[in-house]
Structure 1
Amino acid sequence: MTDVHDPATRSRNMAAVRGRDTKPELLIRKALHAAGFRYRLNARDLPGRPDIVLPRYRAVVFVHGCFWHRHECDLFRWPESRPEFWREKLDANAARDEKAAEALGKAGWRQAVIWECALKGRNKRDFQDTMQRLIAWIRSDRKAITIGGE
C-alpha cells in the first residue's frame, strides 16, 4: 500500500498530471481543426505558453483546468490536506496567469480562456454553443473572451 503522505509518492502523483493534451484541450483542438482553423500548440515563445495559438488571427486560447487555475466554480474545491501548500501553489498559478495575460495583451495578442467547467460537470455548456462562441470570437476583433460553465 502506498503512503500518500510520502513525498516520493506525492511527487509521482503530481507527475501524472498532464500539462498539455488534456481531454478538454483535445476536444477544442479537434473542433477548431474541423472548422478549418490551423494553429500552433503550446508556443514557448509566448508568455504563458498558450495551449492554442492562431497566428493568422493574432489570437491565443487557454484551456484552463478549474482546479489548477483556481476557478471559483462547482469543479473547484480547496484540498483539505496541506492547505498552506495548495493555497501557495494555486495562488502562484493564478498570479502567473494574470502576468501572462497582461504580457500577451501588451504584445497585441487577443485571448480566450475556456474553463474546464464549460466542457464537463453539471453546469457544462452545450459543446456546439461553446464552439460557436469561440469561433465567432476568433473571427471578430474583440480583445478577449472567457467561457465558463453556466
Structure 2
Amino acid sequence: MSLLTWSDDRLLGIDSLDDQHKTLVDCINKLVTECRKTETDGPGPSGEKLKKLARLFDDLYTTTKAHFSHEEAMMRDMAYPGYTAHAREHVMLIAELKTSFAKALTQQQCSLTPELLQALKSWLIAHVSHSDRDFAKFFHEKHHTTPLPESESPR
C-alpha cells in the first residue's frame, strides 16, 4: 500500500521540478513499503533489512537534498523574491526528515507511527501545493508562459 499517489493536479508546469517531485513520491513509497514489511516480520529488523532501510532512507534524503539544491538554484538565477523563506523551509524539512528516520534506524526499528506517516506526507504535499506553486507562478510570469491551473486541494 502506497502512502502517496501522484496526481497531475500537483504539476507545476516546470518539467524538471515535476519530474523530481514524482521521484520523491516514489522514494517515500518505497521506504514506507519496506518499513511496513519489516514491521510485520516480528520484533526488530535483521541486519540486512536495516541496511536496506538505511539505503532507502539515504535515497530519499539525497534525492530531496538534490531537488532542493536544484530548486534553490533556479530561484537564485531568477531573483525570486521568496527565495530566503523558501530555502529556510527546505532546511527545516531536511532536518525533520533526517531526525525522524535517523532516530528510527539507530533504534534498529522502523516504527512508522501515524504521526510520522502524516508528517512525511504533509511536508511533501504541502510544500509542492503551496510553496512550490508560489514559485511556479513567479516562474511562469517571468518566462511569459501559461501556468497549469491550481489544484482544488492538496491530496
* Larger relative contact order (CA 8 Å, sep ≥ 6): 2
| TM-score bucket of the superposed structures, by smaller chain | 0.3 to 0.5
Going by fraction, where is helix more abundant, 1 or 2? Answer: 2
